[in-house]
Amino acid sequence: MNLLSVHEAQERILSHFKPVEAETLPLTVCAGRVLATDIISSDLPLFDNSSMDGFAVMAGDLVNATPASPLTLRVVADIPAGSAPDIILAHGQAARIMTGAPIPKGADAVLMVEDTDFHNRNAGTAAPATVKAFKSVKTGENIRTRGMDANAGQKILFTGSRLRAQDLGLLAMLGVSHLSVYRKPKAALLSSGDELMPVESQLKPGQIHDSNSYTLSALIAQAGCEVLSLGIAPDEKDAIQSLFDRAIAMQADLIISSAGVSVGALDYIKEVVESNGKLDFWRVNMRPGKPLAFGDYGGVPFMGLPGNPVSAFVGFEVFARPAIGQLAGLKTVTRTAVRVRLAEAIESDGRESYLRAIIEERTGTLFAKLTGHQGSGNLLSLVQANALLIVPAGVKSLPISGQADAWIL
Ligand code: AMP
Ligand code: MG
């Protein structure tokens, strides 16, 4: 078996995933969903409106207004937000106006209430009959003009982007009440091994709690995917087979297992998968998590992550998260790394290494140090970490103060 680079393994995996179908949902449930359509804007804002509480005026009327010699205007209208003024302002006139209210015809600026003799901003206060202006205003001052934020026809959100809070707000501004988004993919998850017991169980000698189910379920959910929990498969062919069949019956888009893929491990998984599909065992030039199984069962992609808790986590981040991203319809599935400076010298073994690290900012620079021994069963070292430090393949040591990429966790 030859050694695959991390990149080669990722490419092979991603070639088996395409986006799931789209569905139309109310905007209220679309947070975190992936857009399945581009969004074209209408004019935003939709009408010229005031950005201040004050008085809509003709800028030309106030050219000579100063605190020492204020100019008096006649207030001919009161325009609260939500109203539609039908007046046309003439010279010498003003209209009291609230933030967000439409600019009346004839007006070309808004004088802030602070620059007048009328300071009462309480809702419900009647507008004054006249107002003294203590300042001049520029044409257009304090007016948000129609289309100044976005133009009709402008593409403002794109297929394949995950919807954030501000995106939803913008869609609501446009009056988009329903949206085409990709449905949530479903990942079936199982742990495998005779030593594994559910978290509620009293352990007998030699047994351990199944922790990977908890770590991986949370990661899958975080990646925007529904989790179909299949529980623990004992090292026994029929039991494994029935869990895989359950995944198919539940219409999983992806089956993820942990353990049972290391060389020497009893490979019941291989037997089961190959009875109804295809399975490749790869040795990936990475650490932790060299062994990786990938194939399909009944036409559903299957990913066998290593069993050691840290390896399962790193394997998920490196291989499963991008695959889920592609299923979910995300346009970009590669992760952005940050550049960090090393607070200690680091030894590696030439494999592409994902080391547990703590990143701290000191005077504008991010410094990384490791969280203790990097055994792939040492989950505490991952709990103490806030980043994975990436040492590239072929590099055996990095000096103190050297630089490296890191993924923030
Ligand atoms: P294996 O890949 O089956 O050789 O497992 C490698 C190591 O990971 C062994 O020490 C297993 O006990 C451990 N392991 C496997 N699955 C899990 C799991 N779901 N939770 C915690 N540890 C596990
Ligand atoms: Mg095992």
Ligand 1 neighbourhood includes 376 CB (under 6 angstroms): no
Residues 107, 220 share a domain = no
Select from 327, 362, 382 the last residue of a domain.
Answer: 327
Ligand 1 pocket test, pick from 201, 208, 213, 267 with the greatest ligand atom count within 8 Å of Cβ, gives 208
pTM for the whole structure: 0.92
> Which CATH number belongs to the domain containing residue 35 in this structure?
3.90.105.10
SS (HEC) of the chain: CCEECHHHHHHHHHCCCCCCCEEEEEHHHCCCCEECCCEECCCECCCCEECCCEEEECHHHHCCCCCCCCEEEEEEEEECCCCCCCCECCCCEEEEECCCCECCECCCEEEEHHHECCCCCCCCCCCCCEEEECCCCCCCCCEECCCCCECCCCEEECCCCECCHHHHHHHHHCCCCEEEEECCCEEEEEEECCCEECCCCCCCCCCEECCHHHHHHHHHHHCCCEEEEEEEECCCHHHHHHHHHHHHHCCCCEEEEECCCCCCCCCHHHHHHHHCEEEEEEEECEECCCEEEEEEECCEEEEEECCCHHHHHHHHHHHHHHHHHHHCCCCCCCCCCEEEEECCCEECCCCEEEEEEEEEEECCEEEEEECCCCCCCCHHHHHCCCEEEEECCCCCEECCCCEEEEEEC
Closest ligand to Cα 196: 1
Ligand 1 atom closest to Cα of 308?
8
Instruction: Pull the structure tokens for residue 178.
Output: 């329903």
253 and 400 part of one domain: no
Residue 133 — very low, low, confident or very high, per pLDDT cuts 50/70/90?
A: very high
Q: What is the pLDDT of residue 125?
A: 84
Q: Which ligand is nearest to the CA of 209?
A: 1
Instruction: Please check whether residues 38 and 169 belong to one and the same domain.
Output: yes
Q: Which of 116-120, 135-139, 151-155, 283-287 has the lowest mean pLDDT?
A: 116-120
1 domain-assigned: no
Residue 225 tokens, joined: 């995917």
Q: 332 lies in a domain?
A: no
Q: Is the peptide bond before 45 cis (omega within 30 degrees of 0)?
A: yes
Per-residue pLDDT, 33: 98
Are 195 and 206 in contact by the 8 Å Cβ rule? The answer is yes
For residue 249, the model assigns a pLDDT of 98
In the predicted model, is pLDDT for residue 121 greater than 80? no
Both 153 and 66 in a single domain? no
Question: Sorting pLDDT into bands at 50, 70 and 90, what band is 123?
Answer: low
Confidence (pLDDT) at 262: 66
In this model, does residue 192 exceed pLDDT 80? Answer: yes
Final residue of a structural domain among 133, 159, 182: 182
Is the CB–ligand 1 distance for residue 257 below 6 Å? no
Least confident of 81-90, 118-127, 133-142: 118-127
300 within domain boundaries: yes
- Determine the atom of ligand 1 nearest the C-alpha atom of 258: 16
* Nearest protein CA to atom 10 of ligand 1, as residue: 308
Token pair belonging to 254: 């992806």
The per-residue pLDDT for range 3-24, each reduced to its tens digit, is: 999 999 999 999 999 999 999 9
Ligand 1 atom closest to residue 192's alpha carbon, by position in its atom list:
16
Cβ–ligand 1 distance for 310 under 6 Å, the answer no
List the single range of 87-91, 94-98, 279-283 with lowest mean pLDDT. 279-283
CB 197 near ligand 1, within 6 Å: no
Nearest Cα residue to atom 14 of ligand 1: 307
Ligand 1 proximity of 232 Cβ (cutoff 6 Å): no
pLDDT at residue 122, rounded to an integer: 74
The percentage of the chain sitting over the pLDDT mark of 70, rounded to a whole number, equals 98
Region 249-276: what's the mean pLDDT? 85
Answer yes or no: do 153 and 32 share one domain: yes
How many angstroms separate the alpha carbon of residue 211 from the centre of ligand 1?
A: 9
Q: Are residues 55 and 138 in the same domain?
A: yes
Average pLDDT rounded to a whole number, residues 287-295: 92
Average pLDDT, rounded, for the chain: 95
Determine contact, residues 217/257, Cβ cutoff 8 Å.
no
pLDDT at 119: 85
- Asked if 193 and 232 count as a contact pair (C-beta separation under 8 A), the reply is yes
Q: Give the distance (Å) from ligand 2 centre to CA of residue 306.
A: 9
Q: 89, 119, 144 — which closes off a domain?
A: 144
State the average pLDDT over residues 106-123.
91
Q: Are residues 258 and 397 in the same domain?
A: no
Same domain, 26 and 73: no
Cα 81 off chain centre by? 34
* Residue 333 is assigned to a structural domain of this protein: no
Query: Residue 371 belongs to a domain with what CATH number?
Result: 2.40.340.10
The confidence band for 266, taking pLDDT boundaries of 50, 70 and 90, is: low
Q: Which ligand places an atom closest to the C-alpha of 230?
A: 1
**Residue 128 resides in a domain:** yes
Assess if residue 194 is contained within a domain: yes
What is the model's pLDDT at position 275? 94
| pLDDT, average across residues 213-239 | 95
Mutation test residue for ligand 1: of 209, 212, 213, 243, the one with most atoms within 8 Å of CB:
212
Residue 362's pLDDT band, with cuts at 50, 70 and 90, is: very high
Do 131 and 153 lie in a common domain? no
Q: How many CA atoms lie within 13 A of 361 on its CB side?
A: 4
Ligand nearest to the CA of 195: 1
Domains of the chain: total = 4
Which tokens belong to 173? 């501004």
From the CB of 116, is ligand 1 less than 6 Å away? no
Q: How far apart are CA 231 and CA 163, in angstroms?
A: 31
Residues 260/192, Cβ–Cβ less than 8 Å: yes
Per-residue model confidence as pLDDT tens digits over 325-337: 999 999 999 999 9
Within-domain flag for 355: yes
Residues 89 and 131 in one domain: yes
Cα 264 to middle of ligand 2, angstroms: 10
Please give the pLDDT value at position 258.
94
Predicted confidence band of residue 151 (pLDDT cuts 50, 70, 90):
very high
Show the domain range for 204. 6-20+184-327
Nearest atom (ligand 1) to Cα of 213: 19
User: What's the 212 CA to ligand 1 centre distance in angstroms?
Assistant: 8
From the CA of 261, the nearest ligand is 1
CB 316 within 8 A of CB 380: no
Same domain assignment for residues 201 and 289: yes
On whether residue 238 sits in a domain, the answer given is yes
Domain of 191, CATH number, reads 3.40.980.10
Looking at the fold, whether 57 and 16 belong to one and the same domain comes out as: no
pLDDT (tens digit, 9 = 90+) per residue, 24-41?
999 999 999 999 999 999
Residue 250: the pLDDT is 97
